[in-house]
Amino acid sequence: MKRIALITGASRGLGATLARAFATRDFGLVLNARTSDGLARLARELSDGGADVRARPGDIADPSTRAALIEAARNLGGLDLLINNASELGGIAPLERFDDRTAERVLRVNLVAPLALIAAALPLLAERRGLVVNLSSDAAGGAYPGWGVYGASKAALDLATRTLAGELSARQVGVISVDPGDMRTAMHQEAFPGEDISDRPQPEVTLPFWHWLLAQDPMTVTGQRFVAQGYVDAARGPVSVEQVHA
């Protein structure tokens, strides 16, 4: 049975890298991004290569976008893997200049939307003993100056991930966090305006981890927080793994 993955924030960066990698492994794909142009180009590229792709542009914070993604997955046949990759940086600024509207937007995209999408996807995931991957960041625990709102949103998502892992174990649905590390992406450039980030690796540096993850039973990894960059040993799995079970 063909596996099916849903990836948010898929038009560029890590999301597009994962879509291409999963297509080579014969996944059916449901892809989302806020803007349609880049997403449409990627969908055409993957479809031309033989992948079964459903592109659904829209703001992941919008309930109608989430509903369209779930319907697309259902039409493909189900859902094995949900990757909550879409994130909002919200700018880099000290918390003393806290802006409530920006903070609310960051929390809606980085925390509320992933939780809502998981809830909507749960019946499909449970049918296939699926896996949820929530993209985290080292900012979740770094307390970096200027990163407070973004870091808080990712710290909250990490806690929600651990909670869901316990709550969903009886339904055989795994839930993990993955910190992909610094990468040469548009979002990382946004965090360092005007700076040269060419020393950061491309998102492809994380692919050994993702290929390892696809070979795991979701219930053997659930509740863990993984760091995606670094050497992956086929027998032992990722060398850099944080156990986050209570």
Whether residue 202 lies inside any domain: the answer is no
Q: Is residue 9's pLDDT more than 70?
A: yes
- Closest to 159 in 3D by CA, of 170, 169, 167: 167
Residue 226 lies in a domain: no
Q: Is the pLDDT of residue 195 over 70?
A: no
The CATH code of the domain that includes 163 is: 3.40.50.720
Full-model pTM: 0.90
Residue 80 sits at φ, ψ, to 5 deg, of: -105, -30
Beta bridge partner(s), residue 243:
224
Tokens at residue 26, please? 């014969």
Does any domain span residue 230? no
Q: What's the pLDDT tens digit per position in 39-71?
A: 999 999 999 999 999 999 999 999 999 999 999
Print the domain residue range for 26.
Answer: 4-179+214-220
* Helical residues (DSSP H) of the chain, grouped into ranges: 13-24, 36-48, 63-76, 100-107, 113-127, 139-142, 148-167, 186-191, 207-214, 218-221
Q: Is position 65 within any domain?
A: yes
What does DSSP assign to residue 177?
E
| Position 242 in a domain | no
* Per-residue model confidence as pLDDT tens digits over 126-155: 999 999 999 999 888 888 888 889 999 999
Six-digit token string for 7: 């990836």
32-64 in b/e form (b: 16+ CB < 10 A) is bbbeeeebeebbeebeeeebbbbbbbbbbbeee
**How many domains are there within the chain?**
1
User: Which residue's structure tokens are 């990490």?
Assistant: 158
Q: What is the pLDDT of residue 139?
A: 84
Per residue in 198-237, pLDDT tens?
665 678 889 999 999 999 999 999 999 999 987 566 556 6
Phi, psi of 236 (to 5 degrees): -100, -15
- Residue 189 covered by a domain: no
Query: What DSSP letter does each residue of 189-234 carry, written as one string?
Result: HHHSTTS--TTSPPGGGGHHHHHHHHTS-HHHHTTEEEE-SS-EET
- Residue 8 covered by a domain: yes
Which residues are part of the catalytic machinery? 150
The answer to whether residue 54 sits within a structural domain is yes
Spatial CA neighbour of 242 closest among 230, 228, 224? 224
